[in-house]
């Protein structure tokens, strides 16, 4: 998914393919050091101004958060200590480079897209709930089994979770697991709830999520919950898109810088 341009450049410089191996290429060391210096120059300038302010008796800046909490800017010495040497920076790039960061960001972006898509297409309030079995005591739900064999339990029906673990240990899946959960769940719960009721659904008549919630969770606004989940998922996607684009921008910036310095050397040599 990472789409930074790695096409070899052959204009006025030797063929150059920008990739993770660039950071371990001895011939690129001087150009990478120039890039390193250019990125840390603004920070060093800030440190110099901080040192000057400290020498004049001015304390560190303070920032007051919305909740009234006061934070103090770290000292010039702390800033300076946080800057890695060039060799350390180069070592870090070889271990976890900007390419790795972009790749990781691409995976997070894909995850965010899939999460939102799942919410929109499969988990909407009017989509099937995929509930297969409900255990209840009068108008009180004790627990239920989903189509994928997962279990939700309430009101002291934690034994359903124990039975689910047993099913997993037996390697049961699909219909076999649901049958095991239903049979053993009914047997165990009936000891505590003599009037237990079991309601079964098929794929064709499973209630919609909204209807299921209205029946068993009347005090829970499933519509608001879904709207909030959608908003969170969309915000998360926007954040991941911004992060990914920034990672690609960082790579493109580094590539352009290195090519320009290599071209400058070639022109000077000519």
pLDDT at 270: 64
Burial string for 51-82 (b: 16+ CB within 10 Å, else e) reads eeeeeeeeeeeeeeeeeeeeeeeeebeebeee
pLDDT of residue 50: 86
Return the pLDDT at 167.
Answer: 96
pLDDT of residue 2: 53
Smallest CA-to-CA distance from 86 within 129, 125, 29, 142 is with 29
pLDDT of residue 59: 65
Instruction: Give residue-wise pLDDT tens across range 113-158.
Output: 999 999 999 899 999 999 999 999 999 999 999 999 999 999 777 8
- Residues of the chain with pLDDT below 70 are 1-15, 59-61, 270
User: What local confidence, expressed as pLDDT, does residue 10 receive?
Assistant: 46
* Cβ count within 10 A of residue 258: 20
List of residues 6+ apart from 113 with CB closer than 8 A: 237
Per-residue model confidence (pLDDT) at position 156? 75
Average pLDDT of the chain? 90
Q: What is the pTM of this model?
A: 0.74
Q: Are the CB atoms for 111 and 193 separated by under 8 Å?
A: no
């Amino acid at each position: 998914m990472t789409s930074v341009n790695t096409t070899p450049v052959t204009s006025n410089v030797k063929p150059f393919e920008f990739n993770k191996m660039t950071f371990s290429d001895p011939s690129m060391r001087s150009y990478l050091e120039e890039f390193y210096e250019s990125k840390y120059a603004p920070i060093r300038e800030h440190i110099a101004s901080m040192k000057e302010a400290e020498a004049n008796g001015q304390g560190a800046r303070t920032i007051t958060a919305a909740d009234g909490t006061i934070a103090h800017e770290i000292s010039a010495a702390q800033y300076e200590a946080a800057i890695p040497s060039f060799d350390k920076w180069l070592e870090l790039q070889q271990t976890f480079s900007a390419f790795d960061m972009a790749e990781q960001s691409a995976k997070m972006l894909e995850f965010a897209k899939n999460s939102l898509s799942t919410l929109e297409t499969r988990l909407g309030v009017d989509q099937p709930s995929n509930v297969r079995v409900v255990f209840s005591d009068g108008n009180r739900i004790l627990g239920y089994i989903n189509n994928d064999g997962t279990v939700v339990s309430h009101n002291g029906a934690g034994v359903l979770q124990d039975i689910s673990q047993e099913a997993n240990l037996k390697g049961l899946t699909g219909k076999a697991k649901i049958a095991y959960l239903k049979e053993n769940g009914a047997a165990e719960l009936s000891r505590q709830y003599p009037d237990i009721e079991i309601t079964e659904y098929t794929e064709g008549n499973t209630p919609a999520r909204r209807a299921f919630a209205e029946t068993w969770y009347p005090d829970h606004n499933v519509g608001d919950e879904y709207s909030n989940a959608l908003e969170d998922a969309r915000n998360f996607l926007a954040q991941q898109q911004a992060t990914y684009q920034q990672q690609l921008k960082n790579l493109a910036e580094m590539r352009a810088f290195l090519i320009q310095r290599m071209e400058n050397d070639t022109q000077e040599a000519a």
